Amino acid sequence: ALAAGNRAMLKLSEFTPATNAVLRRLLASCFAEEEVAVVEGGPEVAARFSALPFDHLFFTGSTAIGRQVMAAASQHLTPVTLELGGKSPCLIAPDIPLEFAIDRLLFGKCLNAGQICVAPDYVLLPRGQEEAFATAFQRAFARRYPEGLASADFTSVVNVAHYQRLTDWLAQASADGARVVPACEPARDDAAHRLAPHLLWGLPEQSPVMQQEIFGPLLPLIAYDSLDEAIAYIRARPRPLACYLMSLDAAVQARVIKEVHAGGMAINDTVFQVAVDDAPFGGIGPSGMGHYHGHEGFLTLSKAKTVLRRGRWSSGALIQPPYGWRQRLLLWLLLR
C-alpha cells in the first residue's frame, strides 16, 4: 500500500490485543499517524471503519463478515479486495502412500492449531482407508509433537469463545454418531484452551463442521469410491480459497488442476503456496476476490492513470470533419 503511494488505516482484530500492542509500537517507530493509523475495537468499530469512503478497502476474514464489508463499501462505490476462506479440501488420490500424504497434510493442519485461512478443512480419501489414516496420523503427530498438547510447538486456540465453538462442534459430532479420533491423549486442555487435532468421519452433511469453515484442529474425513466422485464432491460446493492434491500421478494432477476451481492449489504440500510472496494470492467467489502479494499487491492498491499528450500537431486532425479530401486520403491509405 505504501509503495503504491497510499497512506493506510489498519483495523486490527479485537481477538489479539497483545499482538496489536506490538504492531502499534513497531508502526509508531516507523511512521507518523497520518501515514499509517491503527484502529482497534469490536464489531461496531469495524462497521464504522468499513463505511468510510476509502479509495480501496482490503479485508481478510470470514465469508460472512466479508459480505458485510462489501455491502458497506458499496455505499461509496469503494473497490474491495476480500481474502476470505471457506472449506479448503485435501484430496488424497489412490496412488499416493498414506504416510507421505499425511506428513505433508499434518503440517498445514497443525500450524497455528489450524487457525489459518488456507488450512486443510477436510480430507477426501479412498473408501476403507479411514482407520489406517487415523493410525498413521496419530504416529505422525507424535513425531512432530512428542509431548502432545504440552509441546512448545503446538498452539492454543485464540480465545475462549472459539475454543468453546470447536468443542461444541466436537460434542455435536459425537451426538450425531460420527467416529471421533484425537491425535493424542489427553486431547484437550480447557485451562489453556488447547485442543488436539481430531479426525471425524461418518458425519451427517448438515453437521456444523461440514457446513462452516472450521478454523481450528478438527479434520473431517470424507470417503470416496472413485476420483470422479471426489472431484464432483468438491465442484458441488462453494469454491474454496485453497485446494490440496496428494498424488504423484501426472495425469491425476493435470485433471484436478483443470477441473477444480479454487483460489490457489498446492500439489503434495499444504499452505506453502501462500509463502511464494511474488505469486498472486486470493480467493474466488465465496472465498474472496482480487489478488495481492508482491507485484500483484502493488497493482491492486494502485490505479493506472492513462495520460495522452499532444504537441503542436495532432494526428487526430486527419479524422475531423469536414471529411472531403481527408476521407479520400484515409481510403487510399486503407486500400494500399
Catalytic sites, residue numbers: 83, 117
Q: One-letter amino acid identity for 90?
A: C
CA dist list (Å): 289 to 48, 60, 108, 120, 280: 22, 11, 23, 20, 12
Q: Please, which residues have CB within 8 angstroms of residue 285's CB and are 6 or more apart in sequence?
A: 238, 239, 261
Q: How many CB atoms lie within 10 A of CB 193?
A: 19
Distance, in Å, from the CA atom of 264 to the CA atom of 118, rounded to the nearest integer, reads 9
Give the separation between CA 180 and CA 173, rounded to whole angstroms. 8
185 contacts: CB under 8 Å, gap ≥ 6: 148, 196
Backbone Cα Rg of the chain: 26
Torsion sign over Cα 151, 274, 242, 258: negative
Question: Tell me, what DSSP letter sits at residue 281?
Answer: B
In sequence order, which ranges of 176-248 are alpha helices (DSSP H)? 208-211, 227-235
DSSP characters over 73-112: HHTTT--EEEE-----EEEE-TTS-HHHHHHHHHHHHHGG
Q: How far apart are CA 49 and CA 43, in angstroms?
A: 10
Q: Cα–Cα distances in Å, from 100 out to 87, 136, 137, 201?
A: 22, 10, 11, 21
Extract the C-alpha cell encoding 230.
Answer: 471426489
